[in-house]
Structure 1
């Protein structure tokens, strides 16, 4: 029965499989906008808000970001495992992925506004209680964020078995990530620039402005989530998935024993370190090293994400033409060039023009490696979509833990306030090193491709990608023979 079903799929797949409808791709893409809005605020302005507005010291601000990253790191594999274990039954378009997305949305909406608001007046005099107060909402928010992220990512291999469609969904998802970030930075620039003027610096009086930014962003993100839940149905059988004989699942032990899973985890972790640490420390670099005004703390990140948006349009084609390896290396080259320029950048030209070019390079390089690393992860999952959430959870665990530890160490080491070049060196050396580590991971994965260690090779279901394409150059985990 199994062999006959495979024969049917192999012979008739080109007739059964259809490209995902454009409306579905769009609806899927906006499903992570709420998370993206919050992530832009979290990574770009959390340390700025806690340190410059609420006047926590460097270690206290870094500690609270670490608490959030650890909570997220622990939540992601938990949510992934629990999501994979749920029944595949559907009710009104809600299956095991979308139900977690809905739960996470409620947690994010309920907790995030409190993070960027002054603490209750009755605890203002107790510093450690004030920290505990923020940590409670941070943990709730990060659990919700993880639930939305993992459920949304794990829908990609379920919506389509085709590698290039998966890359397209990932690119569309990232495109909306960039749009969300641009939206946040435009709103931030308008509020800080119009209400503060050109030459002002951030201070405690700016707290209400951050609350305005948060509420505008949440309203935008919640609207997108509503459209996602209305138009994306888990039982849709898009792309011919309904003939694949149900969802296949990896054994957890097999996942943890597979060496390629750890290689991909290194790639994903390194990629996220570059993207997130550059996003976290660019505002502090602008404020402390370059001594720029409050409005530029929104304008430079905005420029960075405009570069990401421009590059994200062609990432799917870049992966198709050059393959995962070369596409990732192109992104690495852009990022390392930006890190070198940050280290040697001096003078009026750099402050007036060069910093904007650097921002574009960081955004463009980050978008290439991030989308490509997510494509590599989808390749790792292959047709075993029943374990997709757990695999994404493992990847996110390494990412969040590494980012949290890196931030607290970086903040704790910054004890000399007179060292104005500290954040310049962090962006140059730490972000540059993470790029190099990610490229090493890609090279090691390519070196081991002939050993067929990828999780997708364990399946007997035929390679759908090779049916539709004569050349499958970007397949790292299960390359065509």
Structure 2
């Protein structure tokens, strides 16, 4: 029997290098969620529905790619010396680098073409970008249970990963603020307009360049276990006390069919989906709320989101000690309280009290980061030692999150009553994120009496049958080999 002391700790260099492996994705996601709608509607002057449809195309393609990449990365070996997860990660990184800059640039060959030509131009690069983004995300997350079997260290890796996610957002908003204050020739208007397109172009090029350097460092330092060499299977096996078990304490392996019969797979999926909806909706519509409802200066589309992520960053640093004290489920409830408080405050904000938006940003940042980091940690606990199917789990959970977020945004855009209805975004930011926290609370209540790493009896029966079938085939093959030798 292995003891917890026999689990080898990851070196600090490995932990830090892993944490920056998603940095390019984080930088591009920050710009995608925070500025796509406002860029398309105010700079490119697309109508609300068209801007929403382009975001939906991205979210739906991301959802589908998450699902199929999750399955594909579990079944492929990749480049043996690199590892299958890092192989997919590298390919996805190249797709992101080659597509994302075009989304926030003028159409190079169709600037004066019909609207539909421009629409399909942007849609093409959006699809390519989300294929690469999904490939990086799924395989970076799937590395966590491969790198360590210690649950506390997994929580730490998720916390460090989210800390760099927050840093990426701080960098995005900080650079954007500098672009407004150091190089703003368009001072005649307090709102964004087509003359501000060069700021978005410069921002995207800076972010992609920085993110590419971090990904290069990640691939040099992080070492993935060699899954091509079958002799290493036993030594890489997760110790029994860290593996997933049935309610009867039986260690099991999980196929994708078994996951579909596991109730916690759906429960944690909903919890993660709601956390993402909260974060995504606030990130997308805070800039619009700032400019169109509160009528603040346009540089606040960088400053207010910056405050959100500074507060989120400091909260992420506290996640490990708090988790040790009260546990993940209680932490998630704490995040809900902060998030609902922020949404309630938004309801009472007016132009005359716009400076209070900084207080709102702090509450929203603490609530969103707490829920998201905890949801990631719950996913890692759900997978436990079942790294053989971690790609499918992360892909499926990301599928529901991307699809639901895209549908929510399109419905919000479609229901926009008019260009002059400034109070619309106040209503959205009050009720949509708060509704997501209510759903998350109800689902979390169903998890209170259960342990996250336990498998249901039905799942264990399916796994046992699968293992028995494999054993029979191996016995038949061995018998055939003996007959041949004889």
TM-score when scaled to structure 1? 0.88
Shift of 1:457: 9.1
The CA distance in 2 between the partners of 1:394 and 1:120, in whole Å, is 36
Shift of 1:320: 1.6
* Native 8 Å contact 2:294 2:350 kept in 1: no
Residue-by-residue CA offset, 1:104-157 (whole Å, 9 max, x unaligned): 000000000100011134463311111011000000000000000000000001
Deviates more, 1:312-321 or 1:116-125: 116-125
* Native 8 Å contact 2:83 2:225 kept in 1: yes
Counterpart of 1:331 in structure 2 is 335
The CA distance in 1 between the partners of 2:458 and 2:154, in whole Å, is 14
Q: Do residues 428 (structure 1) and 426 (structure 2) align?
A: no
Counterpart of 1:243 in structure 2 is 235
Counterpart of 1:465 in structure 2 is none
Q: Mark the runs of 5 or more structure 1 residues left unpaired by the alignment.
A: 1-6, 461-481
Residue-by-residue CA offset, 1:408-450 (whole Å, 9 max, x unaligned): 1100100322321101111110011111111221111224549
Residue-by-residue CA offset, 1:337-380 (whole Å, 9 max, x unaligned): 000000022464x312x110110111111111101001111111
Q: Do residues 116 (structure 1) and 104 (structure 2) align?
A: yes
Counterpart of 1:63 in structure 2 is 53
SS across alignment from 2:439: helix
| Cα-Cα RMSD | 2.3
Q: Do residues 201 (structure 1) and 204 (structure 2) align?
A: no
- After TM superposition, the structure 1 = structure 2 runs for residues 6-45 of structure 1, keeping only pairs within 5 Å, are 7=1, 10=2, 13-45=3-35
Shift of 1:249: 4.7
Deviates more, 1:305-314 or 1:410-419: 410-419
- After TM superposition, the structure 1 = structure 2 runs for residues 159-308 of structure 1, keeping only pairs within 5 Å, are 159-196=147-184, 197=187, 200-235=190-225, 243-245=235-237, 249-308=253-312
Q: Do residues 155 (structure 1) and 153 (structure 2) align?
A: no
* Native 8 Å contact 1:185 1:298 kept in 2: yes
SS across alignment from 1:257: coil
Counterpart of 1:464 in structure 2 is none
Shift of 1:455: 9.8
SS across alignment from 1:294: coil
Residue-by-residue CA offset, 1:158-187 (whole Å, 9 max, x unaligned): 111111100000000000000011001000
Q: Mark the runs of 5 or more structure 2 residues left unpaired by the alignment.
A: 244-251, 465-486
The CA distance in 1 between the partners of 2:233 and 2:13, in whole Å, is 18
Q: Do residues 351 (structure 1) and 354 (structure 2) align?
A: yes
Shift of 1:193: 2.6
Distance 1:229 1:455, change over 3 A: farther
* Native 8 Å contact 2:274 2:440 kept in 1: yes
Question: How many residue pairs were aligned?
Answer: 444
- After TM superposition, the structure 1 = structure 2 runs for residues 28-107 of structure 1, keeping only pairs within 5 Å, are 28-87=18-77, 90-91=80-81, 94-107=82-95
The CA distance in 1 between the partners of 2:428 and 2:272, in whole Å, is 20
SS across alignment from 1:440: helix
Q: Which structure has the larger Rg over C-alpha atoms?
A: 2
Q: Do residues 128 (structure 1) and 131 (structure 2) align?
A: no
Distance 1:121 1:370, change over 3 A: same
* Native 8 Å contact 1:33 1:180 kept in 2: yes
* Native 8 Å contact 1:249 1:385 kept in 2: no
Deviates more, 1:223-232 or 1:112-121: 112-121
The CA distance in 2 between the partners of 1:450 and 1:33, in whole Å, is 28
Counterpart of 2:468 in structure 1 is none
* Native 8 Å contact 2:110 2:117 kept in 1: no
* Native 8 Å contact 1:380 1:455 kept in 2: no
TM-score when scaled to structure 2? 0.87
